[in-house]
Amino acid sequence: MRKKIIAGNWKMNKNLIETGALLSDLKSKVGNVQAAEIIVAPTFTNLHKATEELKGADITVAAQNMHQAENGAYTGEISADMLKSIDINTVILGHSERRAYFGETDELLAQKVDTALKHNMTVIFCFGEELQDRKSNNHFSLVENQLKNGIFHVDPSAWKNIILAYEPVWAIGTGETASPEQAQEMHAFIRNAIGKAYNQEIADEVSILYGGSVKPNNAEEIFAKPDVDGGLIGGAALDAESFAAIANAI
């Protein structure tokens, strides 16, 4: 049976001291959630602290990004090997903010996915349409293309290390969520696309998270949908209380 997952993407928030405080709060509030795997993604400089702080707790620490090259002259970048060396085995790739503000394309993301998988990391692969795509009824083909170009090239055996996160850009940080029906409709479409590109078994096993203004007051109805296997949480992940409420909604 596929895994339920609640992941917190902290983005560029929380310094070292604030990270320590939030993590110790999270340990007591979500450390014993059994119904889902809990993942937190602090910023690079706090990842090591997070793995130390969470030793023994049932919470996975993920990075928010990484570079596709093994190493070399890429000023300011972080490699898979660097992450692995501090016990980070999970990485978010393709977040819409990376795509929009840092020019990450499907083609680049395909390389990042390959590098992460080569290092035996788990990839949380993000994708989703913008408002104009939905308004012009292009959202299904756009999402399918993001998947085809970014991740459908991987070997079938790699899917055990892939988590998908559907995040409609118009719902991220806007307070506007996709309705549970819109989320379910897209998640079912995505699962069907995986079934066509690979096979039904892989499609049935992959966890597909929803992201975009998930809050304690809307989490339960979104997570109740059969093809929604959890959430990628931004703003509400910065507060232990609300993240715990969302985790418990699963």
What residues make contact with ligand PGA under the rule CB under 6 A? 9, 167, 172-173, 211-214, 232-236
Nearer to ligand PGA, 91 or 202 (CB): 91
**Contact at 8 Å (CB) between 248 and 34?**
no
Smallest separation, CB 236 to ligand PGA (Å): 6
Q: Which residues pair with 124 in a beta bridge?
A: 92, 163
Q: Shortest Cβ contact with ligand PGA: which residue?
A: 234
Taken as a whole, the chain contains a residue count of 250
The residues, ordered by sequence, that sit 6+ positions from 18 with a Cβ below 8 Å of its Cβ are none
Sheet holding 59-61, edge to edge: 59-61, 37-41, 5-9, 230-233, 208-211, 162-166, 122-127, 90-93
* Chain position carrying tokens 């992941």: 7
67 is annotated as an active-site residue: no
Smallest separation, CB 126 to ligand PGA (Å): 7
167 is annotated as an active-site residue: yes
From the list 53, 104, 144, 167, the catalytic residue is 167
From the list 67, 95, 139, 187, the catalytic residue is 95
Nearer to ligand PGA, 112 or 168 (CB): 168
**Contact at 8 Å (CB) between 48 and 86?**
yes
Nearer to ligand PGA, 230 or 235 (CB): 235
Smallest separation, CB 234 to ligand PGA (Å): 2
Smallest separation, CB 56 to ligand PGA (Å): 27
Residue 137: DSSP 8-state: T
Nearer to ligand PGA, 156 or 173 (CB): 173
Question: Which positions are annotated as active-site residues?
Answer: 95, 167
